Amino acid sequence: MTRLARRTALALPALLAAPRSLRAQARPITIIVPFGAGTNVDAIARVAAAELAPRLNMQVVVENLPGAGGTIATERVARAAPDGTTLLLGVDSVLNVAPLVNPSAVRYNTERDFAAIHMLATLPLLLIGRPDLPATLPELIALRRPFTYATSGIGTSLHLFGEMVAQRTGMQMEHVPYRIATQIFPDIMAGRVDLAVSTLTSSGPLVREGRVRCYGVSSPERHPFLPQQATFTEQAPTAGMAAEVYQGLFAPAGTDPAFINRVAAAVAEAMQTAPVRERIHGLGMTPSMMGPAALTRFVREEGERYAALVRAANIQPQ
C-alpha cells in the first residue's frame, strides 16, 4: 500500500463520522431568496453572502427564486438536505403570514421545518398618502371619510399593518392589492389611490423628496433615514404601535447545531463592524444581533401576533 493510500484509509473513517453539514462544505452555501433581484430582501442577502464567505472560508452564493409570494423558495429550503449547503433568507410574509392567509399553497411548517440561524435586519413600514391630503395623521383622521390604501398584495405583512392602522385610528380604509408593486407610487402621486403601506426602502426617497405625504414610521424610534418623520408610537392616535418586518437566515430543520452556531457567530461578527452596519443603514434597515435561540422565540411570537391581526381583521384564508 502506498503512503497516499495509507493516509486515505486512515482519514476515511473520520470523514464519514463527521456531521453531514461539515462534510458537505466543499460545496458552496446557497442563500435562497424568495423574491426577485433588486428587492430589499435580495439586497440584505447579498450583504450577508459577501460577509460570510471570508469568515467561513467558503463560497457563498445568492439564488433568487421568486414566485407564489415567496412560498416556492421557502418550501424548497424546507425540503432541502440539512447539510449546510442551502439556507433561506426568511421574512415574516413567508414564515408567519402566508401560513395564516394562504394555507392551501403553503407546504411547510415554520416551527417544524426550519432552524433559525441569525436575524440580519429589521425594516420599518410607512403609511404614505397622495400629496394633496393633509400633512399629519390627526388631520387625516379628522377628515372622517373613507380612504383607499394600496399594498403589494392580500395577506402580506403590509396589508396586515394597514389593517392595524385602521383598527387603531378608526379610519375606514379599503384595501387595494396591486399585482405590480412599483405601480403603487405613480398612482399615489397621481391621486388614483389615497394611501399606501410600503417599506421605508421603497418609499422613503419619495418622502424625502416631498413627492408623497408620510403619516408615520412603524419603527419603535425615529429612523435615521427620515429623522424628521414621527413614528406611529409617538402619535396619540397610534401610541405604542410599532411593527417592523424582519429578514433572517434559516436552515432546514435537522441541520447540525455546530454549523448553525458557526454561521451565527460569523453573522454576529460582521454585524459588529462599522462598514456592514453602514451598508445596512444605507438600505433603510437596522442591523440585528439576534442569534438562534432569540430568533426562534421571536418568529414564534410574531406568528402569534399576526394570527391575532388576521382574526381581528376578519381576513379569510385563500
pLDDT tens for 28-39 read 999 999 988 888
Overall domain count for the chain:
2
- Domain membership of residue 149 (yes or no) is yes
- Pair (153, 89) in one structural domain: no
- 76: domain CATH number is 3.40.190.150
- Pair (88, 9) in one structural domain: yes
- Pair (61, 149) in one structural domain: no
Q: Which residues pair with 214 in a beta bridge?
A: 128
- Domain membership of residue 231 (yes or no) is yes
- Domain membership of residue 251 (yes or no) is yes
Query: What integer pLDDT is reported at residue 2 of this predicted model?
Result: 47
Predicted TM-score (pTM) of the model is 0.85
Q: What range does the domain containing 11 cover?
A: 3-123+245-313
pLDDT tens for 200-238 read 999 999 999 999 999 999 999 999 899 999 999 999 999
The tens-digit pLDDT sequence of the chain (318 residues) is 444 344 444 444 444 444 554 444 578 999 999 988 888 899 999 999 999 999 999 999 999 999 888 999 999 999 999 999 999 999 999 999 999 988 988 999 999 999 999 999 999 999 999 999 999 999 999 999 999 999 988 878 899 999 999 999 999 999 999 988 889 999 999 999 999 999 999 999 999 999 999 999 999 999 989 999 999 999 999 998 999 999 999 999 999 999 999 999 999 999 999 999 999 998 889 999 999 999 999 999 999 999 988 888 787 776
- Pair (117, 171) in one structural domain: no
- Pair (177, 232) in one structural domain: yes
- Pair (153, 181) in one structural domain: yes
Alpha helices in the chain (DSSP H): 3-17, 20-23, 40-56, 71-79, 92, 98-101, 110-113, 137-142, 157-169, 184-190, 200-208, 257-271, 274-282, 292-313
- 135: domain CATH number is 3.40.190.10
